[in-house]
Amino acid sequence: MIQGGIQKPIEEPAESRPTLNLETIRELLRSQKSETADLKLDEDGRELLFTGKLKASLTETSNVTVLVFDHAILFANMSWNQNSKKIEVYRRPIPLELLLLSKTRQENTHTSRLRRFSFLGFMKASSANTVGKEAWPITFLHLGKTGYQLTLYASSEADQEKLVELIGTARERLRVRPENFNPSIVSINFPKGFRKINCAVPFHHGRKILYGTDNGLYLSNREKYDSVPEKVLDVQKITQIDILEEYNLLLILSNNILQSYPLVRLDSNDFTILQNPKTLQKKCTFFKVGVCIAKHMVSCVKSGSLSSTVKVFEASHTATSGESIDGGHNDLTLSKEFYIPKETFSVHFLKSKICFASRQGFEVVSLETLETQTLLDETDASIDFALKDGPRPIHIQRIDEEFLLNYTDFSFFVDRNGRRSRPQLRLDWNGSPQSFALSYPWIFAFESNFIELRNIETGAIHIMPRKNLRMLHCRSHEVRKKSFWGLLLQIAIMC
């Protein structure tokens, strides 16, 4: 029975009916010490939109009260009489941003088929499930590392439809869309038998995209996203690619071997890849392209469980006749090689140093002296939470004179001395992101089921649910807070 959204008679005597309003719910939860940490019912503007009852299962007669607020949904068991009222939290509250919802429709054959709703995201379910004649299931999926799935049953199709519609409307009202952020399709028609994209890189001012796969390198034109990507290089098991456009060099990591391929531009819209690659490093785990000490560099990392070997190459122009677009010969020459006594997850270029992420945290290495030091100031008690074992460091981004440090559980700011620079700001992630991108003031956190966008300045949250999601490429330069366009962001997503 849905109250507020669908008006139906209540069978209980009038004197036993509860007065279900925001203040009553707030007081009941507070007095009984229920799990209300995620509800924030004391915030200004909070609303209780409606309440309703759903069956807990097909075989039981017990009901679960569903309370939908303007920002979250709560499942509870409620009981009351003339002398007392009681509420018990049935399952942990779900923020509407992290809710996926699906319903099933009764068929004549007594089977139900999943109906998906784009406004609430997509959720996988079995294509056919046998249900009772009067059963109208609604499945609630809580995204994130503390998530769960719960199926409850409406008493009629009308109640099922209305509840889904009301929750969808509330979620849309809550959604805050990032400024100047417009997702677009870059390619749809991949060759038959095409299974997975491992990596991608945009080039030619973002008009073209190269895709690395297990069976070769493919090229697509963003201006014709419905065209079939063309296979341009027969290289197997490509795991990472990048381009140094200024030097007409294509970098490909395949079978743990990093090689550079010369590029020759045939005209303004075409190019070819020369089949005489140079091997930069064998047994390479990953590499990173960036700018450090005003030079274009490539860092190659051979990472093991106990130690890592790092080679740093410097891009250069040589004024000799060659095959590149400007008539010069472009190359990568070894500049530095050093050893790190720990496993390395990622590498990031700063102005004059290279930063590495390991289980022990972020460390910086001077390219001039190869001196290594930890990024965080361990005497700062306010960052003790980041020094504990558990959260894995993933990404670092310089913003003016600050550094944004991103871990699987949280993000926070430090200054150039490694001390907390914004004590009041800590972003605790709902999921466990494995990659990040920044378009100030928005930070993008990617995990397999959704992208979590957070506004650093306002705290606004925007969730984009997707299936089989990965960040394939992101290239950025130093970001300045006063300029949104200080970042050129290219993200390719495989859904």
- Residue 82 — pLDDT band, cuts 50, 70, 90? low
Between 405 and 11, residue with greater pLDDT: 405
Tokens of 142: 């809580």
Q: What pLDDT, on a 0 to 100 scale, did the predictor assign at position 266?
A: 65
pLDDT over 70 percentage in the chain = 79
- The residue-averaged pLDDT of 411-431 equals 94
Please provide the average confidence, as pLDDT, over all residues in the chain.
Answer: 80
8 A C-beta contact, residue 93 and residue 38: yes
Q: Is pLDDT of 299 > 90? A: yes
Cβ neighbours of residue 215 closer than 8 Å, sequence gap 6 or more: 236
- Residue 205 — pLDDT band, cuts 50, 70, 90? confident
Give tens-digit pLDDT for 13-53. Answer: 444 445 678 888 887 787 766 555 558 888 888 889 888 89
8 A C-beta contact, residue 110 and residue 56: no
Kindly compute the dihedral angle of the four CA atoms of residues 385, 389, 394, 397, in this order, to the nearest 10 degrees. Answer: 30
Q: Is pLDDT of 318 > 80? A: no
Please tell me the number of Cα atoms within 13 Å of 126 on its side-chain side: 7
Q: Which 8-state DSSP code applies to residue 331?
A: E
Please tell me the number of Cα atoms within 13 Å of 346 on its side-chain side: 18
- Residue 382 — pLDDT band, cuts 50, 70, 90? very high
Burial string for 297-313 (b: 16+ CB within 10 Å, else e) reads bbbbbbbeeeebbbbbb
Between 326 and 275, residue with greater pLDDT: 275
8 A C-beta contact, residue 35 and residue 93: yes
Q: What pLDDT, on a 0 to 100 scale, did the predictor assign at position 470?
A: 85
Tokens of 416: 């150039």
Between 215 and 488, residue with greater pLDDT: 215
Between 73 and 131, residue with greater pLDDT: 73
Residue with tokens 């249900």: 131
Q: What pLDDT, on a 0 to 100 scale, did the predictor assign at position 9?
A: 33
Q: What pLDDT, on a 0 to 100 scale, did the predictor assign at position 485?
A: 31
